[in-house]
Structure 1
Amino acid sequence: MPWRCWYMPVWNWDEINICRKMLYKHLEKEKVSKLFHKWGGIPRFVLEKANDQTQQDKLLDAIARCDEKIFTYIEESESGDHKLIHINTNVLIEENNIELKNSDPYTQKVLKFASDYIGERVTIKLEKTIKSRLNNEIKLSLSCGKSNQFLGNCFEQIAQRMLRGGGEFNVRSLDSDQLGTIKLNRQNEILIFSAVDAINNGEYCQPNNKNFPSIDSIIAPNMLFQMTTTREHNIKMIGLIKLYSKLSKTGNIDLFFVVPAILYNGYKKQKFINGTNGMPNWIRNQ
């Protein structure tokens, strides 16, 4: 029987917080939460070394040392800098509703920034290099069908920052090709939610779960955003269902695919993945 490689995801917030309650009761939840949003789900730095300033300073040191070599380092090494970049995988979304394409859960390797805190700082520092590399990678992807997932994550960080910065953005309907604009308010604070109930109307919110299906951000009750650098990005029904309580029950709900300029004019309408329970009427009627 051939061997198989499986990947273990980093800890999520619920797991970190349970461990805190059981083994690190002396640590305040608020402090651990702040460290989690800086480091990502690494218990060594979020829990064990939470009060060790020398260890905590290593994150800023790693960001300060980061330069263009990070791209070569990632491409040529299995290790990478694990303070800045983590291996993500295709987790089991729900026991009775698996929406994975051609693969078993925990078998795919995806490199992403360890946290939005890290991603924002690295992409600000290397934005010019990232944009140049991304353009070249997308042209390569269009010809051979293979995309660079880490550069896609870099694009997501830049796009999130631009949308939070507010302003007027061009949009094109994937149904009718009609052109228009949307205007977003500036938001200085990065708002991260772990529970859907924490989403407030009118605020630009991002899930802390990097594997949250269907969206990368939301402005409730009627604007959803999915960042992608690929021509095909199926819409997972389960993510929309999770957000149902925060979405408008009347009027339109818009799902925006945020893509690089090179993909904008030719981007096509995307397919829904229905899962095991079919498409709810409230989605079908949108």
Structure 2
Amino acid sequence: MDDFTTKTLFLKPNRIVYQVGSSYKCFDLQQQLVTELGLEVANIVWKQDTLYIIDGHTIPRSSCCIVLFMSSPRSEGYKEFAKQKMAREWDFPVWTLDELQACRRHCYPDVPIETINERYRMYGGVARSVFDIVSNPMDEALTDVDAVKGVRNIGFTIKISANTHTLLHTIVSDDGQYEFLHVDIASIYIGEQLWQRHSAQMITNIQQMFDGIPTEISRHLFEIYGHVVFCTGGQTLKCRCLKDGTVTKITLDALNGQRITFGINTIPTAAALDGNYYEPTDDDNFAAIDSLSRQGMFQFTADDEHPIRGVDILTKLCSLYDEPKLYFVVPPHRFKGFKKQSFKAKKGTEQGLICI
């Protein structure tokens, strides 16, 4: 841990000055008072027992205290501040739904729980987007062709547009350093909308992503694409038996486009599979497969192999079928080289490969 981080973490300020634009509020931690500040702010931020927080793009005032400047990495004011002050930089982590609901209880109790849940489903865990219930930048982002093209930019997010930032999240380390790790799609909802509205561009995006090493965002986008294809059905796809290499065709059952969720303790019956498409819930540790239907069990993967970890669960799922089939679903560049996977399963379980 560097000196700046140590100093910041152990700071016990007597007051917090919070700036948004040209507005200043002072949170007096000793007297438990909140006041609006005018010209006197110039003196207060020179007191070393002050924590000075700037929310937005405004350049901070000259000060002699710990300064926390929260801003987009695209902000010119932020870049200049970081350069001049030799600032220690952190990336904001994505919030969980539990953290957002806790913030709602303490800070925004008038906002309905259902609203937070719905905006989290759409925007993911960026608190500003979730709690700003008046604006809706999602529509603009999803119709911005340049933003959709920007989804394939999997490097540092400082180079991509504001609309693309709505579609993507920066994932940071959880070791207290909050350093950039990678970029991921902000929510399953966004991924589904991208494939439904911009399928041709998204195929181009993901093909370019697959030119290199598979990343979290390319894996997730491919899985979302797979669910869109399989829950609708009707397509005839290339299929290969992983036992003998025989290449055939498989026509997916035409379904209603709906996805029914299930968990470890709510596995559907064999009869319930008819005409339906099931996928495990996100909150269950479901490592066996990604989905199932009457035609078999499906595991989407963009890698050249995919070990099955949830063998006990897989065994239960296999019991739903007289002739269980486990299909690995891969992009075209993996179809030729993907091999039969090694794991213990119900005797007679066939392994197949489907290309989408």
Instruction: Kindly state the Cα deviation for residue 166 of structure 1 after the two structures are TM-superposed.
Output: 1.0
Residue of structure 2 aligned with 1:183, choices 241, 252, 255: 252
The answer to whether the 8 A contact 2:152-2:205 is kept is no
- Structure 2 CA distance, aligned partners of 1:267 and 1:152? 16
Distance of 2:96 and 2:313 partners within structure 1: 17
Instruction: From the superposition, tell whether residues 211 and 177 of structure 1 become closer, same or farther in structure 2 (CA, over 3 Å).
Output: farther
Tell me if 1:129 matches 2:180. Answer: no
Match for 2:239 among 147, 171, 188? 171
Tell me how far apart the structure 2 counterparts of residues 30 and 219 of structure 1 sit (CA, whole Å): 29
Query: Against the structure 1 CA distance between its residues 17 and 133, is the aligned structure 2 distance closer, same or farther, given a 3 Å change threshold?
Result: closer
Change in Cα spacing, 1:244 to 1:220, as seen in structure 2 (3 Å) is farther
Q: TM-score, normalised by structure 2?
A: 0.53
Rounded Cα–Cα distance in structure 2 between residues aligned with 1:133 and 1:271: 32
- Counterpart in the other structure of 1:154: 221
Distance 1:23 1:248, change over 3 A: farther
Cα deviation digits, residues 112-142 of structure 1 (max 9, x gap): 211121112223344323323544554x44x
After the TM superposition, which residues 70-219 of structure 1 pair with which residues of structure 2 at under 5 Å, given as runs?
70-71=150-151, 73-75=153-155, 77-78=157-158, 81-88=164-171, 109-135=181-207, 137-138=209-210, 140-141=211-212, 146-167=213-234, 168-180=236-248, 181=250, 183-191=252-260, 195-197=263-265, 200=268, 201-202=272-273, 203-207=276-280, 209=282, 214=287, 217-219=290-292
**Offset, 1:258:** 1.2
Query: CA contact under 8 A between 1:87 and 1:109: conserved in structure 2?
Result: yes
Q: In structure 2, what residue type is equivalent to 1:33?
A: N
Matched AA of 2:143: A
Contact 2:232 2:258 in 1 (8 A): no
- Kept after mapping to 2: 8 A contact 1:214/1:235: yes
- CA drift of 1:171 comes to 2.8
- Name the CA distance, whole Å, in 2 between partners of 1:198 and 1:42: 31
Matches within 5 A, 1:237-276: 237=310, 240-241=311-312, 248=319, 251-272=322-343
Q: Which has the higher helix share?
A: 1
Given candidates 49, 64, 83, the residue that maps to 2:143 is 64
Q: Please state how far the C-alpha of 1:19 moved relative to its aligned partner.
A: 5.8
Structure number with the higher strand fraction is 2
Contact 2:223–2:300 (CA under 8 A) maintained in structure 1 = yes
**C-alpha separation in 1, matches of 2:316 and 2:138:** 37
- Cα shift readout 1:148-181 (whole Å, capped 9, x = no counterpart): 5433433333222111211244432223334452
CA shift in 2, pair 1:118/1:33, >3 Å: same
- 1:102 aligns to what? none
Counterpart CA distance in 1 for 2:286 and 2:172 is: 13
In structure 2, distance between residues paired with 1:60 and 1:116: 15
Residue 125 (structure 2) aligned to one of 41, 50, 54: 41
Query: How far is the alpha carbon of 1:251 from its aligned partner?
Result: 3.8
Q: TM-score by structure 1 length?
A: 0.64
Matched residue of 1:86: which SS? strand
Aligned-residue Cα RMSD (Å) equals: 4.3
Conserved? CA contact 2:170–2:181, under 8 Å? yes
Report the Cα distance in structure 2 between the residues aligned to 1:120 and 1:177, rounded to whole angstroms.
32
> Could you list the per-position Cα deviations for residues 167-201 of structure 1 after superposition, in whole angstroms to 9, with x for gaps in the alignment?
244432223334452533323335456x5456654
Going from structure 1 to structure 2, the CA distance change for 1:178 and 1:149 (only over 3 Å counts) comes to same
State the shift of 1:268 in Å: 0.9
Are the counterparts in 1 of residues 171 and 181 from structure 2 also a CA contact under 8 Å? yes
Q: 1:78 to 1:271 in 2, by over 3 A?
A: farther
- Number of aligned residues: 248
Deviation at 1:245, TM superposition (A): 6.5
Decide whether aligned partners of structure 1 residues 41 and 205 sit closer, same or farther in structure 2, where only a CA change above 3 A counts: farther
Ranked by relative contact order (alpha carbons within 8 Å, sequence separation 6 or more), the top structure is: 1
The separation in 1 between residues aligned to 2:324 and 2:179, in whole angstroms, is 33
The alpha-carbon deviation at position 84 of structure 1 amounts to 1.1
In structure 2, what is the equivalent of residue 97 of structure 1?
none
Task: Answer yes or no: is 1:228 the counterpart of 2:298.
Answer: no
Could you say which structure has the larger radius of gyration? 2
5+ residue gaps in structure 2?
3-89, 350-356
For residues 208 and 316 of structure 2, the distance between their equivalents in structure 1, rounded to whole angstroms, comes to 41
